[in-house]
Structure 1
Amino acid sequence: MPPTANSALIAAVLLLLAVDGVISKSTIEPCSNDDSCNALLGYTLYTDLKVSELAALFQIDPIVLLAANSIDISYPDVESHILPSQLFLKIPIICSCVDGIRKSVATRYKTRPSDTLANIADAVYGGLVSADQIKDANSISDPSVLDVGQSLVVPLPCTCFNGTDNFLPAVYMSYVVKTVDTLAGIAARYKTTTTDLMVVNALGNAAVEDGDILAIPLSACASNFPKYASDYALSVPNGGYAVTADHCVECSCTPGSRLYCQPASLSVSCSSMQCKSSNLMLGNVTIQQSSAGCNVTSCGYGGFVNGSIITTLSSSLQPRCPGPQQVPPLIAPPTVVSPDMALSPGPSPSQLGGAPIGVLPGSVVPSTGSSIVLPPSANGPSGSSSGACTLVNPLSSISVAMGLVLFVKVMLPFL
């Protein structure tokens, strides 16, 4: 049988499975290197959980979790705060390249009495993973037999796509489609377009089903820290914060895609945050009107290197003095779930007007990051210059794809 016929047969099998509802669509990003990126999971709490319990469920820093959702980390005893069931949160993860596929494998789950793989996948992790994926990742021969206290690797979906969307910085969130969702509604909620989501997720049409997992690009501010910095390639989605430098520095994405970093609100022991040859501290900005324009001087963040906070002093002459810069508003740890909290992440500064930075009135913070100002493509994402990453859809597990290919190869001699 010629190769084109082979491809047609495989496509027919995949289409049949998709139509019959055997598998849900999911975005799979092949990869060929060992780099990683910042990514997010859209997660809805299945029960009331302490902040520390939720963080332990994904093996992440509780403070990093709170910051990503613009929750005030200075709240008293915030790690013991109980988050309500059905609250939607963004879970920050590291997206790696594992066996040629982008995924996160840092999460491990310790089984409890009465646990089943289906319950762990669907209830505990909200459909972000399937029972078969957990089974394959842990080489479980009999899924009906789980030992209490058994540690299971939980492979979670993620994508990088070179950290860009339409040539602009972006962080991708894996989102589980709900029954009430439409692609147009999801696009509106996350300030993108239906066309963009279709291109990113290789969708032939705008139809989505309950349980599908979409990769959603969230506009972000990218850093330009040196490669030897421990927080190299830090990228912060609009509307949230990233805590870095051992909890000493918090960075946010402000209007205009400017990365702004300032001392974090935690009481921790930190290295010096003063810019050299200046009395300015990290995040401080001064402005001075002159006949030639407006002199703007700022103390920015340059990365965390060997336990030290790198500060950078920059000065510029601008035609006019800028207005006050704004950062995403912080919220108290939620105790109840409003309709918005059950559906979407924290608002961006452009939605609520933001909160003024606590520095001089009328000051602005020049970007410490990089923003490529290019017009977006009329046909959605332009992708990246690297050819290593392409999109495969609609499989929820690479093991399913491999099994189907093997099935076709075995059956070909009999066709």
Structure 2
Amino acid sequence: MPLPSTPLHRRLLPLLLAAVACTGPPGAASKPALLEPCASATTCPALLSYTLHADLKLADLAALFAADPLAILAANAIDFAVPGPAGRILPAGLALRVPVPCACSGGVSRATSARYVSRPGDTLGSIASRVYGGLTSPDWIRDSNGGLTAPDGAVDAGTALLVPLHCACFGGADNGVPAVYLTYVVARGDTVPAIAKRYHTTATDVMSVNDLATADVAAGDILVLPLPACTSSFPTFTSDYGLAVANGTYAVTADRCVQCSCGPANLELFCVPAPLADAACSSMQCGNSSMMLGNFTLVMTGAGCSVTSCGYGGYANGTILTTLTTALKPLCPVPHQFPPLIPPPTSSFFETYLGPSPAPMPSEGGIKSPTMAGTAPTASPDAVAGAPPTGRHFSGVFRVLALCLVTNVLW
């Protein structure tokens, strides 16, 4: 029987249809969309925020993300000078940053990927939410592995899977300040103001970067957070071209022979021989000089302080490139302050030390003072990324039911 048509009905029907369309199907959570237009095949450095789902050896964690174990330690300012770091056992619930290369995926977003061999009992859902902490989705894994057809998401043990993961670059800058972007999965109880405070930024900036109309987020939502960083200017032919290091942390490069740090006092990249550098590393001496990488001399003259330094210029074909530079500054710089290192964690009650954002001196490039710096997430172990969404969706369902009831009464 066709529905009657009256002026009142004609006004109410569009409202009902709009409400249904906005709410979506039951169980569908509205999440921020990570769409970053991109076309270049060049990758950029990015960070993933990850909370360990179980006690893991550092080597096993690195294998989950196809990352270098030393790079993970350096990105969290954890002491990486102790020999044999891969065998360290990290506790469940530990929140870490994992450095990854972020590439263009399909011209509309950024992504990285890892290889995972399924274990007994694994499903696409458990791999996405538990193993990879909500940094991916079951459907995305399914689409990236065309042979998966089980309706319940079951995966045979021993199946090799390509696991795509969200990441972001946004030009390596935020409000004109060099930045490395951290992909963060919202945990149960998180709010935008709390996340902003944890990472020394503002709720307005978090909302702007993620194109959020409101500060309403739910567990499992994915946000990207810009962390102030030191950037490099290495030639394009070097293997570490585009190297960027988040403020308060390190990076290990040149086949583990060189360590580069950022801050905490400024946003200038500073590179020296790595603690575990050995005779296999190529020469780190600046040409036409007796100075080694990281060395500098200060000579006060009537015109100012003459600073001669041996800097790092990238890694190419097994060779560490060095550059000898001389500059005249009004005042002699103070000795470089390295970001503090913390000992390897043995419990989940751990937070990476990353101090407040630096305020670079105007004479050091004129960079405006950034408004944010990073600290590792401190979500408790049970605040698992990818947990079921909050009741936000159910309020939409109730609105639709109410509209349906009103409509039935009117009709």
TM-score, with structure 1 as normaliser: 0.79
Mapped to 1, the partners of 2:156 and 2:54 lie a distance apart of 23
Aligned to 1:316: 327
Is residue 329–residue 349 contact of structure 1 (8 Å, CA) maintained in 2? no
Aligned to 2:89: 82
Say whether residues 1:256 and 2:256 are aligned partners: no
Mapped to 1, the partners of 2:56 and 2:29 lie a distance apart of 32
Say whether residues 1:152 and 2:146 are aligned partners: no
Aligned to 2:220: 211
- In the TM superposition, what is the alpha-carbon distance from 1:102 to its structure 2 partner? 2.8
Aligned to 2:367: 373
Aligned to 2:127: 120
* Secondary structure, aligned partner of 1:56: helix
Q: What letter matches 2:181 in structure 1?
A: Y
* Secondary structure, aligned partner of 2:61: helix
- In the TM superposition, what is the alpha-carbon distance from 1:311 to its structure 2 partner? 0.6
Deviations 1:280-334 (A, max 9, x none): 1101121122333222111100111221111111112222222222121112211
* Secondary structure, aligned partner of 2:195: helix
CA gap of 1:155–1:324, structure 2 versus 1, over 3 A, is: same
Is residue 41–residue 158 contact of structure 1 (8 Å, CA) maintained in 2? yes
Mapped to 1, the partners of 2:370 and 2:59 lie a distance apart of 40
- In the TM superposition, what is the alpha-carbon distance from 1:105 to its structure 2 partner? 4.0
Mapped to 1, the partners of 2:86 and 2:334 lie a distance apart of 36
Aligned match for 2:197, one of 177, 188, 192: 188
Mapped to 2, the partners of 1:18 and 1:70 lie a distance apart of 44
- In the TM superposition, what is the alpha-carbon distance from 1:86 to its structure 2 partner? 0.4
Q: What letter matches 1:92 in structure 2?
A: P
Aligned match for 2:285, one of 274, 280, 305: 274
- In the TM superposition, what is the alpha-carbon distance from 1:129 to its structure 2 partner? 1.2
Aligned-residue RMSD, C-alpha: 2.7
Say whether residues 1:91 and 2:92 are aligned partners: no
Is residue 357–residue 370 contact of structure 2 (8 Å, CA) maintained in 1? no
Aligned to 1:109: 116
Mapped to 1, the partners of 2:183 and 2:214 lie a distance apart of 19
CA gap of 1:180–1:88, structure 2 versus 1, over 3 A, is: same
Q: Percent identity?
A: 50
Say whether residues 1:141 and 2:149 are aligned partners: yes
Mapped to 2, the partners of 1:126 and 1:316 lie a distance apart of 47
Deviations 1:360-407 (A, max 9, x none): xxxx9x98xxx6735889xxxxxxxxxxxxxxxxxxxxxxxxxxxxxx
CA gap of 1:20–1:325, structure 2 versus 1, over 3 A, is: same
* Secondary structure, aligned partner of 1:260: strand
Mapped to 2, the partners of 1:125 and 1:376 lie a distance apart of 31
Is residue 117–residue 159 contact of structure 2 (8 Å, CA) maintained in 1? yes
How many residues align? The count is 351
CA gap of 1:291–1:11, structure 2 versus 1, over 3 A, is: farther
Q: What letter matches 1:266 in structure 2?
A: L
Please identify, of 49-58 and 326-335, the stretch whose mean Cα deviation from structure 2 is larger.
326-335
Aligned to 2:336: 325
Aligned match for 1:220, one of 223, 229, 233: 229
Q: What letter matches 2:108 in structure 1?
A: I
Is residue 240–residue 348 contact of structure 1 (8 Å, CA) maintained in 2? no
Aligned match for 2:183, one of 174, 186, 198: 174
Structure 2: runs of 5 or more not aligned: 1-14, 372-411
Say whether residues 1:197 and 2:206 are aligned partners: yes
TM-score, with structure 2 as normaliser: 0.79
Q: What letter matches 1:286 in structure 2?
A: T
Say whether residues 1:234 and 2:263 are aligned partners: no
* Secondary structure, aligned partner of 1:252: strand
Is residue 112–residue 166 contact of structure 2 (8 Å, CA) maintained in 1? no
Aligned to 2:387: none
Deviations 1:198-246 (A, max 9, x none): 1110000112111111010011011000111111111111111111110
Mapped to 1, the partners of 2:18 and 2:192 lie a distance apart of 24
Aligned to 2:379: none
- In the TM superposition, what is the alpha-carbon distance from 1:135 to its structure 2 partner? 1.4
- In the TM superposition, what is the alpha-carbon distance from 1:172 to its structure 2 partner? 0.6
CA gap of 1:214–1:12, structure 2 versus 1, over 3 A, is: farther
Is residue 47–residue 180 contact of structure 2 (8 Å, CA) maintained in 1? yes
CA gap of 1:258–1:9, structure 2 versus 1, over 3 A, is: farther
Q: What letter matches 1:67 in structure 2?
A: A
Deviations 1:131-170 (A, max 9, x none): 1211121122224442211011111001111111111211
Is residue 114–residue 163 contact of structure 2 (8 Å, CA) maintained in 1? yes
Is residue 32–residue 212 contact of structure 2 (8 Å, CA) maintained in 1? no
Is residue 135–residue 143 contact of structure 1 (8 Å, CA) maintained in 2? no
* Secondary structure, aligned partner of 1:215: strand
Please identify, of 175-184 and 316-325, the stretch whose mean Cα deviation from structure 2 is larger.
316-325
